Structure 1
């Protein structure tokens, strides 16, 4: 009898422990049943075999949620976003979780010269062009096909003249939630005219959980010996300078706040960190790592791109997001794998020109794990 009673207590303790674990709370797919641009908006749910879940909409290819376990088995949604399509459309924050193109980041004065022609593209960020313009890829409805429980394929035909860019560009983006607890994003594009292209992904991460305070206590490592300094308009000057003895030295893990408040012209120009780093090496390699000490969550960024933009949430200002949570100032970070900003106007930067007959490819992987 005593043994049975002990077993019952043990079972109750296990059940109580399980019930105390934070659980996944999915957004209703009906919240994304909208008709936009004569296309249907949908919300897709991806799962891997370990219990990791992501919800992605074909409206801008946005990652709406990403549920990641911590060191104690608790799940949290670690990306900022909204819980209806309508809120994404109306929001001031247009880039939460989005696919970005035709050109991620900034192009100075919204102009560039290509094959003896000067192109004027949409100006939407002061006097500059940012993230593809007023109706960049973050704002369009992509054609979507869920290939499996863990894989989603999105396609979009970006037409000649869209936002001022030359060429019909056909883009395919594949999201895959892999069993190594990574979210892999693969891009492929072709064009019928020479054009600049620089695709990237713009999730805003907080590894404590979206809306759970500042990210300044996260530990960050960026595998870069150099970065591209900017002017007052956050446009690269064309220089490539060493991170050594600057607040931009993240070659070893350190808290994001370490150096953030230094007297530094570059930090003043960016209102904090909003800079492109020149990633060491070539090919597919680990380009960055983030550790959140309280939860034990770790995120590694793997890519074949030559650069990565680190943005520290400097312009977040109390937006209300999923479940009514407030997204506070510096309450998220972005790590956007990319070619360099303003490359079409900087001949010493790696080229971003795609020509007819060529195939553009890029890969970005956000891989999650835990540590004690």
Structure 2
């Protein structure tokens, strides 16, 4: 690990000023991903701005009937918050499907959005990686790519975004509030993370020095008909091969509103609005769900050892939609694993 300096900001304005006053600076909250990257010699910040003293840990209602999740609130506090469990159980279950209890006790909400890919080659500094070193190449293309992307890839990168929480936030149409040197702004969740294209080193659309202050949830939480399905190699402490977040609003057996997002398949949480549109007004049947699944994966492309993900994702979508329509999931559900 390279040497670095550390300050602990007492206000958002102070944090932004401190960041802007140093070269190669980084914000740090729980540090559950950044410290690993530093230890592995992947990230090399010269100055860290500590955020844990900022007054951003509350979870409170918004004037529009939604819920505001503080940036420095931990994943554990968020998942077990009474309002989150009652009104947004999809989000609660997605968070509890990720990492381990110890990590969820440390990891912050903003940090969850900012975590980086777990691609083997990204962490292996002896191999080429455009995300780690732009222009060096992508060892995963043509290499061992079982965990890699099947949607939204480019010739530069096929890495996947690792978060469970973010898949649920995409389905819920959250909004990210940020503050930076040029003031405050809000970013729709669908616009926060980006596809690799020819600049895979950029994970998101934040500008230099911008700091996440909260994540806002809308009033609609799909608390009655939802599902989070995570398929992985072992039951605990494993990243998704494929995950699916579903929210449905039903009128009898007819789908009035549908949200569908996937994890483990792309460089960002993958939401397909066209497939959602196919579901609206249709009966909540297996045939309808299969049609939507085919639409989501119609442009999917395997890379060899991850070809199985295409069929796995289709089946996962059908299963998650079926569970959501039946209202089967509860907060105490045990999550599913897979070992293809």
- TM-score between the two structures when normalised by the length of structure 1: 0.24
- TM-score between the two structures when normalised by the length of structure 2: 0.25
The structure with more radius of gyration: 1
Q: Which has the higher helix share?
A: 2
